[in-house]
Chain A
């Protein structure tokens, strides 16, 4: 199964090769959507982990034991249907094509499961119809 997580690393865990340990010890594949590590700040990683359900749970438990904050609540893109004018400008900057225009109706469609929350669509929207929920 797959789980989307936001991992927050305190300073002392930044040297840990986290995705390597997940793969080697738990046979869990980590697909990194976003990563942010800045000097003197906590690191943040938005990942999708895939693997056996028991091993996923074990991996999450292991990360928590190592002071890595694991959050299942993820940022999501929300589209305000009252504001959206279906211009389609966002579809050109969406790297995963989760935002598309329906070829028949030309209405904007959003495939949530494909979205990696890169947020490039936010500044592209001329009517500010796209927001994140956090």
Chain B
């Protein structure tokens, strides 16, 4: 029907037709798949949710005399330094080291990354391994995003294709990565935006792969690899969408050019810090099949309800529930009405999709065809102890 090159040509000539995923659902229902596929070139999707599998690569630039960092804290949060002299990696889920100089207790790597993106200053305290090449013993300074050589997000696991719904069937409150779960099925939390979610609108990743240009934290980014825990073999419905956590993506993008609105530190009480991140993915409408997949609705998407009161690798489940049900604010479990709440911001997800649409309309963002598809057959291997 059309190629990515043809779409880019239209973007440059200003004749491209772009819909956000929200507009697309309504317009496809109105004009039918065949007509809609002829009309639209690109559908933009977005998501905004906590993505713990995020982190930032920092290259400080060399000091004089030079230093080879063996231990480094940024605002009291440990950054990994086992690469080279002044390369650091700070993970979103890294908690502030107790006793270190961070103003707030409930702080971690996600906040440090968000502060740097917001152009706030961050204290750096490093110890050097003194060598003939790098004689310096320590470095204490303040950094900002413009005073470090390089700063980019390098996220090993973002953008879960579907997720779970957390509940607590036990008798004490639980602090989880889905927020507080109240006892005796007091509430249910879902963490995916359902029909708005990028990877649920291209369930078999036919248009999305390694090299796909995306909107990451309000700046340009790229899909670099499968994400950790990538599980494409998850059981799927006839519409090819998975019934639980499935594909994940590793992404990269220049954090110096990101926007603080879409990169926010967060903290789950009793669990730890994370990073809330906005990611936008364009879906090029190459053929009717691609468009048809974008018409999927919340009624046709499901997630498993998982009981967090039993802290094992495989937790008991209450079965599958549709996103239409989850978004209604209530679901019924064991004859009891349970309130549901999202953790993925549906409002911001739509704003991200809108932002991406605007950029494509303004010819500021062109699409890329993947250089390589993501694997479709990787198994999910558990870590079982051997030989004991």
Contact = CB atoms under 8 A, between A and B. Distances in A.
A86 interface: yes
Contacts of A128: 106, 267
Given A92-B187, A92-B188, A92-B189, A85 B345 contact: yes
B127 to A, nearest CB: 31
Nearest to B270: A123
B304 interface: no
A64 interface: no
Contacts of A127: 264-266, 276
A86 B187 contact: no
A90 B266 CA distance: 14
Main secondary structure of the interface of A (DSSP, over half): loop
B189 to A, nearest CB: 6
A124 B265 CA distance: 15
B342 A88 contact: yes
Contacts of A120: 180
A92 B339 contact: yes
Nearest to B273: A126
Given A106-B350, A123-B180, A124-B179, A88 B345 contact: yes
Interface string B301-342: 000000000000000000000000000010000000001111
B359 interface: no
Interface residues of A, number: 21
A93 B341 contact: yes
Q: How large is the interface on B (under 10, 10 to 19, 20 to 34, 35 or more residues)?
A: 20 to 34
Contacts, number: 74
Contact of A126 (B179, B186, B342, B350): B179
Contact of A89 (B48, B106, B341, B347): B341
Nearest to B186: A93
Contacts of A107: 347
B79 interface: no
A104 B343 CA distance: 17
Contacts of A85: 48, 264, 276, 345, 348
Interface in A87-134: 87-93, 100-101, 105-108, 120, 123-124, 126-128
Interface string A72-95: 000000000000011111111100
Nearest to B48: A85
A93 B173 CA distance: 12
Given A93-B182, A101-B346, A105-B347, A126 B341 contact: no
Contacts of B80: none
Nearest to B342: A88
Nearest to B187: A92
B248 interface: no
B235 interface: no
A86 to B, nearest CB: 4
Contacts of B268: 126
B38 interface: no
Contacts of B188: 92
A87 B264 contact: no
Nearest to A102: B347
A92 B341 contact: yes
Given A85-B276, A86-B348, 7 more contacts: A87-B49, A87-B344, A100-B329, A101-B329, A126-B50, A126-B276, A128-B267
27 contacts: A85-B48, A85-B345, A85-B348, A86-B346, A86-B347, A86-B348, A87-B49, A87-B276, A87-B345, A88-B343, A89-B189, A89-B342, A89-B343, A91-B339, A92-B339, A93-B180, A93-B182, A93-B187, A101-B347, A106-B345, A120-B180, A123-B269, A124-B180, A126-B266, A126-B267, A126-B268, A126-B343
Interface of A: 85-93, 100-101, 105-108, 120, 123-124, 126-128
